[in-house]
Structure 1
Amino acid sequence: MSSEPDDPVLSSPLYRGLVDELLRMRRRRNHVDDGAILEASAFAILWLFDDGRARTLRELADELCLEQSTVNRQVNAAIKHGYLERFEVAGQVSRLHRPTAAGRSAFEHDGARRARRLEAVFADLAPGTPEGLLRELKAYNDAYDRVAEGEL
């Protein structure tokens, strides 16, 4: 992509609109409603554990696409609040992390709240459907990954 000011892509209302909408979505990623129990970072971490697999800090950092120091701070805060626990596994250098019963309960509570908000958003989504949005977002992310991998 050219960085020249007269580049038609940069001045395109379509591309400016797309970037504006993607930025709006990005700003919402840390939104926490008043009835939520968890901070956004704790919810994101607990989301990863929904598959039932314990993880190291490195695995969490990789999956969240964050620096390990940031994830370490977030995990320590979640441990302090009783949402996660750290444990050792014989023969493994790195300690693993998993949700506590309180963490699972808070995640289920906040997940249900988020699901109800999405249901309300989808009820107001016109024209369009949640299935159509999922299909288009997946296609976008798959194409983006292919282009990004080609740049390496």
Structure 2
Amino acid sequence: MEDGADRGVERAGEVQSDAGDSIWSSEVYRGLVDELLRLRRRRNQVDSGAILEASAFAILWLFEDGRPRTLRELTEELCLEQSTVNRQVNAAIKNGYVERYEVPGQVSRLHRPTDAGLAAYEHDGRRRARHLESVFADLAPGTPEGLLRELRAYNDAYERLADDA
């Protein structure tokens, strides 16, 4: 029977190395990773009253600036594989939320939301906004402004380091 001395052992959700040290240099870092994973699990939750699937909402979110996009641009902005975005865009087109059209003199076709897509996006967006407003009202002791400031700082630092890699 092994006692765990020769291998990594998991204790209270913490992976221990052979020497018994946590892989995390700080319990704060481990806690942050836990919270980021909680956010990730919630990422694709769909409200039962929502019209759009999460992927369609994400695509329509990108069009909020009013600018049509190529499939390549959508792929880059969504940070997903092109085959995944192609499948998601085709589903959005099939459901009548996005249209693909040709531009004379341009090789790549462009995509833009349809009126039905804009209406569904507005419906679901308002539902999401109301839900987040309720969450933010219960955000104690923090504030939405503080959370925004810290998330921006984190994302900026992450992107700076990713650019250096």
| TM-score band, normalised by shorter chain | over 0.9
SS at 1:77's partner residue? helix
For 1:88, give the aligned amino acid: E
**Pair 1:71 & 2:96 matched:** no
More helix by share: 1
- Hey, what does 2:129 align to over in structure 1? 115
Q: TM-score, normalised by structure 2?
A: 0.86
Counterpart of 2:97 (choices 72, 77, 83) is 83
Q: TM-score, normalised by structure 1?
A: 0.93
- Hey, what does 1:33 align to over in structure 2? 47
Q: Distance in 2 between matches of 1:24 and 1:120?
A: 18
Moved more, 26-35 or 41-50: 26-35
Q: What are structure 1's unaligned runs of at least 5 residues?
A: none
SS at 1:92's partner residue? coil
Tell me how many residue pairs correspond in the alignment.
148
Q: Distance in 2 between matches of 1:144 and 1:48?
A: 21
Structure number, greater radius of gyration: 2
Q: Which deviations, in whole Å up to 9, do the C-alpha atoms of 1:9-68 show, x marking residues without a partner?
A: 526321211111000101111011100000000000000000000001000000000011
Q: Distance in 1 between matches of 2:97 and 2:162?
A: 35
Q: Distance in 2 between matches of 1:149 and 1:54?
A: 27
SS at 2:39's partner residue? helix
Q: Distance in 1 between matches of 2:49 and 2:22?
A: 45
Q: Which deviations, in whole Å up to 9, do the C-alpha atoms of 1:57-85 show, x marking residues without a partner?
A: 00000000001110000000000100000
- Which 4+ stretches in 1 moved above 2 angstroms? 4-9
Q: Distance in 2 between matches of 1:150 and 1:86?
A: 36
Q: Distance in 1 between matches of 2:68 and 2:86?
A: 15
- Hey, what does 1:98 align to over in structure 2? 112
Q: Which structure would you say has the larger RCO, counting Cα contacts within 8 Å and 6 or more residues apart? A: 1
For 1:89, give the aligned amino acid: V
Q: Distance in 2 between matches of 1:100 and 1:150?
A: 39
Q: Which deviations, in whole Å up to 9, do the C-alpha atoms of 1:75-98 show, x marking residues without a partner?
A: 000001000000000000110000
Q: Distance in 2 between matches of 1:139 and 1:23?
A: 18
